[in-house]
């Protein structure tokens, strides 16, 4: 008479065994589904983020561009001022959509709505919460980027088929900014702390070569600008939309891979500390 044996579940991947027990349930998609459902009631605020870069493109590219003339592109070839700033606005669109969703919204849910405390009473863990919120911010930034990319195509500001890779690149950029934004939010104690978010985002938008080339700065300031994440995002987008594709893209991509790894790790650990204490 044979003795029935109970099936043994396969061992968990090594990376998940490093996490505290109960911190990850593999259901981050449920967080994204919840955010999608909630956004149906605030759709006007959701879509409003699309119009800002379009207004900048019309005002700066079409208006001021008639006075500026052509500028050198990433490969040294002259391009119109509108074609120069459009990739920068595309990168900024991905950044803004991801940052503001992963900071203000997350802070409200964490400290006022107490939404995450309720979620941890379900099978969700803090890593699910972190990945779900970052994923939603990524999706929002990606939607803004896709819409603005279609506007660029409508204005004839795309000069290369490599621009098809601009959308996946925008998702990587949004992912990186969302991860860092959520990690930073976990350290904030009041709404006044969000002045630091504006202090970080606005100067990057103005000075990270969005509206003029890096060569206008003295060398010491160029080194400072080259450390800014939005600078790498703008360079990545500008190279893809103008067809200046080469190995020079890899350092920019590596920059965002590091941002993603650090942001996700810090956000997950901090949420675990805040919610499970």
Does 39 reside within a domain? Answer: no
Task: State the residue range of the domain holding 92.
Answer: 68-275
Q: CA distances (Å), 221 to each of 159, 212, 236, 246, in order?
A: 30, 14, 20, 26
The answer to the question of residue 165 being in a domain is yes
Instruction: Report the number of distinct structural domains present in the chain.
Output: 1
Range 263-277 average pLDDT: 77
**Residue at 150 is within a domain:** yes
Q: Evaluate if residue 58 carries a pLDDT over 70.
A: yes
- C-alpha separations of 28 from 34, 85, 112, 268 in Å: 10, 36, 22, 12
pTM across the whole model: 0.81
What pLDDT digit, counting tens, does each position of 73-94 carry? 787 788 888 888 888 888 888 8
Choose the weakest-confidence range: 116-130, 154-168, 255-269.
116-130
Is residue 245 a part of any domain in this protein? Answer: yes
Residue 26: the pLDDT is 61
Residue 1 inside a domain? The answer is no
pLDDT in tens, 195-222: 888 888 888 988 888 888 888 899 999 9
**Residue 248 in domain:** yes
What does the DSSP 8-state code read for residue 71? Answer: E
Where is pLDDT greater, at 244 or 176?
A: 176
Give residue 14's pLDDT: 42
- Residue 164 falls inside a structural domain: yes
Residue 176 lies in a domain: yes
SS3 readout for the chain:
CCCCCCCCCCCCCHHHHCCCCCCCCCCHHHHHHHHHHHHHHHHHHHHHCCHHHHHHHHHHHHHHHHHHCCEECCCCCEECHHHHHHHHHHHHHHHHHHHHHHHHHHHHHHHCCCHHHHHCCCCCCHHHHHHHHHHHHHHHHHHHHHHHHHHHHHCCCCCCHHHHHHHHHHHHHHHHHHHHHHHHHCCCCCHHHHHHHHHHHHHHHHHCCCCCCHHHCCHHHHHHHCCCHHHHHHHHHHHHHHCCCCCCHHHHHHHHHHHHHHHHHHHHHHHHHHHCC
Give pLDDT tens digits for 224-239: 999 999 999 999 999 9
- Higher per-residue pLDDT: 218 or 272: 218
125-182 pLDDT tens trace: 777 777 787 777 777 777 778 888 888 888 888 877 888 888 889 889 988 998 898 8
pLDDT the model gives residue 256: 94
Q: What is the pLDDT of residue 22?
A: 47
């Amino acid at each position: 008479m044979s003795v029935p044996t109970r099936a043994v579940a396969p061992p968990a991947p090594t990376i998940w065994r490093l996490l505290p027990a109960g911190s990850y349930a593999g259901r981050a998609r449920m967080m994204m589904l919840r955010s999608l459902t909630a956004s149906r009631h605030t759709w006007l605020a959701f879509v409003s983020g699309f119009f800002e870069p379009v207004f900048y493109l019309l005002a700066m590219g079409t208006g001021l561009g008639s006075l500026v003339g052509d500028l050198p592109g990433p490969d040294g070839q002259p391009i119109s001022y509108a074609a120069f700033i459009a990739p920068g606005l595309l990168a900024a669109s991905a950044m803004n959509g991801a940052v503001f969703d992963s900071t203000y919204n997350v802070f409200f849910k964490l400290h006022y709505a107490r939404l995450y405390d309720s979620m941890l009473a379900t099978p969700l863990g803090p890593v699910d919460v972190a990945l779900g919120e970052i994923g939603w911010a990524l999706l929002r930034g990606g939607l803004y980027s896709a819409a603005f990319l279609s506007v660029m195509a409508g204005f004839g500001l795309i000069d290369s088929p490599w621009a098809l890779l601009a959308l996946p690149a925008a998702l990587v950029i949004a992912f990186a900014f969302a991860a860092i934004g959520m990690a930073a939010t976990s350290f904030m104690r009041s709404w006044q702390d969000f002045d630091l978010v504006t202090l970080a985002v606005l100067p990057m938008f103005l000075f990270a070569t969005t509206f003029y080339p890096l060569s206008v700065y003295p060398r010491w300031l160029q080194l400072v600008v080259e450390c800014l994440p939005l600078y790498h995002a703008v360079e990545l987008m500008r190279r893809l939309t103008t067809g200046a594709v080469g190995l020079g893209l890899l350092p920019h991509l590596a920059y965002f891979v590091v941002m993603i790894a650090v942001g996700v790790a810090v956000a997950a650990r901090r949420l675990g500390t805040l919610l499970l204490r």
